[in-house]
Amino acid sequence: DVKVTQSSRYLVKRTGEKVFLECVQDMDHENMFWYRQDPGLGLRLIYFSYDVKMKEKGDIPEGYSVSREKKERFSLILESASTNQTSMYLCASRQVGLITYEQYFGPGTRLTVT
Amino acid sequence: LAKTTQPISMDSYEGQEVNITCSHNNIATNDYITWYQQFPSQGPRFIIQGYKTKVTNEVASLFIPADRKSSTLSLPRVSLSDTAVYYCLVGRRYNFNKFYFGSGTKLNVKP
């Protein structure tokens, strides 16, 4: 089974702090994604990565950056956390070469910025 | 990408068949339809995808009429463990990395 793990289930940070969210997948998938999920808004794509060191902005990249130095690891960085970044953050991975929209999601990190 | 419209919530009882319909009036010729399931405190999980007519797997069936402006996810004989949010998504055929997650349908299965 594909396993996607996220470094924390719950995180509380202060406004202005730099925040790192880590995601690791164990299935050698090329594609990795970061989403945020908010009530009434569904999941929204922040960034995704085609492969190591390759990234592309999603629908809401403002205030975020990403890093992918190794294939299995994809990091989301909040340069200066703000209260409007309080949300559930979900990481996912996908295998290329298949005609499928199947992404494998991690359990999520609930981030609270105070 | 075509936006999707689903009922906000549905109730059912154990053992019943549940059909959740999704509207996607602006679906394009190359778009695929995909359904995900999400339990509380977990990430979404892929259930099924299709392009036209009917697709069935061990978990669910997906019915897509000829005009493809809607689709129906069918869950046979639901149990309490099927209580979850179900998302209908539309994705472009040659871009498997981008699709639109709506707000989903909260299915509540009662004993």
Contact residues on chain A for B93, CB-CB shorter than 8 A: 99
Q: Find, among A113, A27, A43, A42, the residue nearest to A78 by Cα.
A: A113
What pLDDT was estimated at residue A68?
97
What pLDDT was estimated at residue A39?
86
Question: Is the separation of the CB atoms in B48 and B73 below 8 Å?
Answer: yes
CB atoms within 10 A of CB A104: 23
What percent of chain A is modeled with pLDDT above 90?
79
Contact residues on chain A for B87, CB-CB shorter than 8 A: 42-43
Mutate to test the interface with A, among B59, B97, B106 (most CBs of A within 10 A): B97
Contact residues on chain A for B1, CB-CB shorter than 8 A: none
What pLDDT was estimated at residue B1?
63
Contact residues on chain B for A92, CB-CB shorter than 8 A: 43
Q: Find, among A55, A57, A58, A63, the residue nearest to A87 by Cα.
A: A63
The answer to whether A101 contacts B34, with C-beta atoms less than 8 Å apart, is: yes
The answer to whether B49 contacts A101, with C-beta atoms less than 8 Å apart, is: yes
The answer to whether B46 contacts A102, with C-beta atoms less than 8 Å apart, is: yes
What pLDDT was estimated at residue B98?
72
The answer to whether B87 contacts A42, with C-beta atoms less than 8 Å apart, is: yes
Question: Is the separation of the CB atoms in B3 and B87 below 8 Å?
Answer: no
What pLDDT was estimated at residue A2?
64
Contact residues on chain B for A107, CB-CB shorter than 8 A: 41-43
What pLDDT was estimated at residue A101?
80
Per-residue pLDDT of A10-38, as tens digits, reads 999 999 999 999 999 999 999 999 999 99
Burial of B51 (0-12, 13-18, 19+ CB in 10 A): middle
At B73, the amino acid letter reads L
Mean pLDDT of A68-91: 97
Give me the tens of pLDDT residue by residue for chain B, a chain 111 residues long: 678 899 999 999 999 999 999 999 989 888 889 999 999 889 999 999 999 999 999 999 999 999 999 999 999 999 999 999 999 998 877 676 677 777 899 999 999
The answer to whether B49 contacts A43, with C-beta atoms less than 8 Å apart, is: no
Q: Is residue A4 pLDDT above 90, yes or no? A: yes
What pLDDT was estimated at residue A48?
92
Residue with tokens 């960085």: A77
